[in-house]
Amino acid sequence: MEYWGATQLLTDSGLPNYTLGEERFKNKSKDAENTLSASDMAIIISHLLKKYPQVLNTTKVAKSSFVDGKTITPMQNWNWMLKGLSQYDPNYPVDGLKTGTTDAAGACFASTMKKNGRRLVTVVMGAQHANGEDPSRFIQTKKLLKYIFDNYSSKKIKQGFSFASVRRVKVINGKEKSAPVYVKEPTVVWLPKKQQLSNLKVKFSKNAIHAPQISGKTVGRFYLINTPVLNSNKDVAIKATVHQDVKQANFLVRIWNRLFNQQQNSHEKANSSVTTAQKVKKFRPYQDPKDLVKAGTWNKKSENKEQPDLTKVKDLWIRVSLKENRTYIMSGKKPIYTMLSTGGVYHKNKSDTPTGTYHIQHERGAAFYNHKLNEGAKYYVSWKDHGVYLFHSVPTKSDGSIDKKEAKKLGKIPGSHGCIRLSIPDSKWLAATVPAGTKVVIKNH
């Protein structure tokens, strides 16, 4: 499950370590237990229902009797929202999925149901649990579902639909300079009720498509802006296609375009170098310390000195400069430790890393791997959306080895999907010692 982004899985029962008796983990405290965010739980549920949908045949059963020889034991499902049980509501016909309760987590409930042909999943954590008859988790679930149905609706985007904000895309080496793009296949999405498809804002996944392209084939994706995907900083993606073949320009035109682009890129690169140097001088919020290691160094501490004890730093906070690729440990107004870092890639001068003021959250660990992004990292701590936006090491591949091509970007250029990358030693130190609640300020400069 670490491939799906699960934070910490300790026991298969989900109960605290001390419940395992002699089989408990000796290197963990007796109260240690699985640590999962609501997002983590939703991801696990998504995989479960896609791969084993037959589990619903069991979870939807409200009451049953178990026969053991001559003994018959009647049992009732702990999901009291099922039909025939105390918290049933016909407006929310759930058919699963799981309750859970521990002292640390409180009363939790993951529900699922179908609405307009689409399956919904909700996760409630930390509800009140005064006693075994307390229905708080189900009351909170109904409030959450009511909010969804009051404010959102499922909307079908038909095959061949054309978004007003991206009707055409640039074509490289084509007979035509641009081509119209359309939705490849019908898609249902949940959107605010007032949102009209006609003015839905989207962005295209590419700056341009290359000729030739065959009608009906996927040429890219439309991203629905501000409609996030579970456990990802990317937006909902819808496949795009063309309705007519995009034909290639003749050989001479392609040669000319290549030569022209090479000259233009060389000119832009030269100008960029000058501009970057000017920006660094003008916009970097704090001067680099003399002992800062060379940009691109990912396997050493950023400064050749002892890292401060963050539990003892007065007026501790963290300042991130995205365009300058620096992260600062601050004590009041003074930076006391400077780290090489890499933030989100920029699209139209906007980073994939959100700017603003946030706070360190409880989610942290030694490693993770995101199967969707085909990328992982070592040593992480969350600062937004409970496991979505992290401080973590330079990226790792599926086998756990460092992606050195990406690692060399550290301190030089943006390159992440939205998280803040740090060196291996810096990320390990930060994840292990930074207190939850520490303020994090992220700015472009």
Closest CA to 7 of 407, 309, 367: 367
Q: How far apart are CA 44 and CA 311, in angstroms?
A: 34
Residue 419 a catalytic site member: yes
Residue by residue, what is the 3-state secondary structure of 78-119?
A: CCCCCCCCCCCCCCCCCCEEEEEEECCCEEEEEEEEEECCEE
Token pair 């496949």: residue: 239
- Give 209's contacts (C-beta < 8 A, 6+ positions apart): 169, 170, 171, 172, 179, 219, 220, 246
Minimal CA–CA distance to 383: which of 319, 308, 296?
319
Q: Which residues are CB-neighbours of 251 under 8 A, at least 6 positions away?
A: none
Q: Which of 108, 386, 392, 417 is catalytic?
A: 392
d(CA 124, CA 107): 8
Q: What is the 3-state secondary structure (H, E, C) of 7-56?
A: CECCCCCCCCHHHHHHHCCCCCCCCCCCECCHHHHHHHHHHHHHHCHHHH
Sign of CA dihedral 127, 131, 132, 135: negative
Q: Determine the Cα–Cα distance for residues 99 and 141; give it in Å rounded to an integer.
A: 12
Long-range contacts formed by 178-182: CB under 8 A, 24+ apart? 179/209, 179/213, 179/242, 179/244, 179/246, 180/242, 180/243, 181/219, 181/220, 181/222, 181/240, 181/241, 181/242, 182/240, 182/241, 182/242, 182/243
Q: Please tell me the distance from the alpha carbon of residue 57 to that of residue 64, in angstroms, as a whole number.
A: 13
Give the side-chain half-sphere CA count within 13 A for 109. Answer: 29
Q: What count of residues does the chain have?
A: 445
Q: Which residue bears the tokens 């392609």?
A: 254
β-pairing, 420-422 with 389-393? parallel
Give the pair of three-digit tokens for residue 45.
């549920």
Provide the β-strand partners of residue 153.
191
392: annotated active-site residue: yes
108, 386, 417, 419: which one is catalytic?
419
Instruction: List active site positions.
Output: 392, 419
